[in-house]
């Protein structure tokens, strides 16, 4: 078995765990998602003249829509380039990172509980003969960098925008949570040898067969934090993360122009925060309804009426979700991944070593 060069920690070979999730739980997740979607759609269209909404959508400026779609594709490419940088062991090629990432993002948009991230870890781990826990750790680190830039956005807006209560409370909780995660993550990353030895000591109270499993998983997770210990690697990740944030902001701004909304960069950043935080919570397939209602609420802060805001939300949703849907579906077809295999894989709730 391979060992981690720094810690001497055994690194897992490919793992699987075909533990099935309760069908009742899946049905409840689907039902809750559908109820949330229907409720959000009702709230979004209530009191809106739908013929005016359709007229506004048909009047969108094609050039700006086209540019927004290009930027949306560029965002996905930038995310794939950044994901490669998070690997310290056998970094995947950009092509493989792009393909597997888009499969995961696509599945996150149509199945509950962000299970596409687990499939990403499984597929990349299988392809690179790496621990799925290690790969999943890189995805967690990726999310932390995204949350860091959300907090930076909140800080930038605070002096210039009065946040309504429905935004201020979640924003405060998000900021506090991210700061705590960053502090803990930084301490663990820089003192990971100490953390691992502490875990070795604490694991002695567990049955012997559990000790080895837990320490292997801990070692794999700690290895995924190696990227933040390398200054050059960390700077590169931060640069790509900023680019991803800027592209998301740019997409919002281009769709503003396409819909004839004369709004500044502040609403574009505010909307980015609201959508990033709002759709991060597992909800309806494709975020249909939830995405649109959040857009209506966010733009109401800047005195945009419900009709134009809903028109904008529909167009922005298409600009963002059509590219990832097309790419995700294409790569699932190219990889010859059956739906039954997807469902077996995303039901993994933990991982174990397969000797």
**DSSP state string for 240-264:** HHHHHHHHHHHHHHHHHHHTT----
- 160 lies in which domain range? 23-346
User: Domain for residue 37, yes or no?
Assistant: yes
State the pLDDT at residue 354.
41
Radius of gyration of the CA atoms of the chain, in A: 22
Which tokens go with 269? Answer: 């950043």
pLDDT at site 220? 79
Give the whole-angstrom CA distance, residue 310 versus residue 304: 10
32 occurs within a structural domain: yes
The pLDDT value given to residue 350: 39
When divided into structural domains, the chain yields a total of: 1
pLDDT value for 216: 79
DSSP character at residue 304: -
pLDDT for 59 equals: 94
pTM, two decimal places:
0.82
Task: Give the model's pLDDT for residue 4.
Answer: 40
Q: What is the pLDDT of residue 115?
A: 77
In a domain, 10, yes or no: no
Q: What is the pLDDT of residue 79?
A: 96
Query: What is the model's pLDDT at position 351?
Result: 42
Is 3 within a domain? no
The 10s digit of each residue's pLDDT in 214-251 is: 777 777 778 888 888 888 899 999 999 999 999 999 99
d(CA 8, CA 293): 51
Give pLDDT tens digits along the chain (355 positions). 344 433 333 333 334 333 344 444 456 666 777 788 888 888 999 988 999 999 999 999 999 999 999 999 999 999 999 999 999 878 899 999 999 999 999 888 877 667 788 888 888 988 888 888 889 989 999 999 998 998 888 888 888 887 777 777 777 787 888 888 888 888 887 777 777 777 777 777 777 767 777 777 777 778 888 888 888 899 999 999 999 999 999 999 999 999 999 888 899 999 999 998 877 665 567 788 889 999 999 999 998 999 999 999 999 999 999 999 999 989 988 887 776 666 666 555 334 434 4
pLDDT confidence of residue 213: 72
Residue 351 in any domain: the answer is no
Q: Which pLDDT value is given to residue 17? A: 37
Non-local CB neighbours of 322 within 8 Å, separated by 6+ positions: 69
- 254 domain residue, yes or no: yes
Q: What is the pLDDT of residue 282?
A: 57
Determine, yes or no, domain membership for 190: yes
In a domain? residue 11 = no
Q: Residue 306: its pLDDT value, please?
A: 94
Concatenating the DSSP letter of every residue in 97-140 gives HHHHHHHHHHHHHHSGGGTHHHHHHHHHHHHHT--HHHHHHHHH
Q: What is the pLDDT of residue 280?
A: 64
């Amino acid at each position: 078995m391979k060992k981690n060069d720094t810690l001497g920690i055994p690194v897992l070979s490919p793992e699987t765990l075909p533990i099935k999730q309760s069908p009742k739980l899946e049905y409840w997740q689907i039902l809750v998602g559908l109820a949330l979607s229907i409720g959000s759609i009702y709230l979004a269209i209530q009191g809106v003249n739908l013929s005016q909404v359709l007229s506004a959508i048909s009047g969108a400026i094609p050039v700006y829509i086209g540019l927004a779609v290009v930027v949306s594709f560029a965002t996905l490419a930038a995310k794939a380039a950044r994901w490669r940088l998070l690997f310290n062991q056998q970094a995947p090629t950009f092509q493989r990172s792009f393909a597997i990432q888009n499969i995961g993002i696509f599945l996150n948009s149509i199945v509950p509980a962000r299970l596409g991230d687990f499939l990403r870890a499984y597929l990349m781990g299988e392809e690179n003969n790496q621990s799925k826990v290690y790969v999943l750790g890189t995805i967690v680190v990726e999310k932390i960098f995204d949350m860091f830039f959300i907090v930076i956005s909140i800080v930038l807006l605070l002096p210039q925008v009065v946040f309504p209560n429905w935004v201020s409370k979640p924003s405060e909780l998000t900021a506090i949570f991210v700061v705590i995660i960053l502090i803990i993550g930084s301490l663990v990353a820089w003192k990971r040898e100490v953390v691992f030895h502490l875990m070795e000591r604490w694991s002695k109270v567990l049955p012997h067969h559990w000790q080895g499993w837990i320490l292997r998983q801990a070692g794999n997770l700690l290895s995924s934090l190696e990227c933040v210990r390398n200054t050059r690697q960390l700077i590169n990740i931060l640069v790509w993360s900023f680019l991803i944030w800027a592209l998301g902001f740019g997409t919002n701004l281009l769709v503003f122009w396409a819909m004839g909304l004369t709004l500044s960069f502040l609403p574009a950043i505010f909307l980015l925060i609201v959508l990033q935080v709002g759709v991060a919570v597992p909800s309806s397939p494709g975020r249909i309804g939830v995405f649109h209602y959040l857009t209506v609420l966010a733009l109401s802060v800047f005195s945009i009426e419900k009709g134009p805001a809903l028109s904008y939300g529909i167009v922005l949703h298409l600009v963002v979700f059509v590219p990832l849907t097309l790419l995700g579906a294409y790569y699932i077809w190219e990889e010859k991944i059956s739906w039954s295999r997807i469902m077996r894989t995303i039901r993994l709730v933990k991982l174990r070593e397969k000797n």
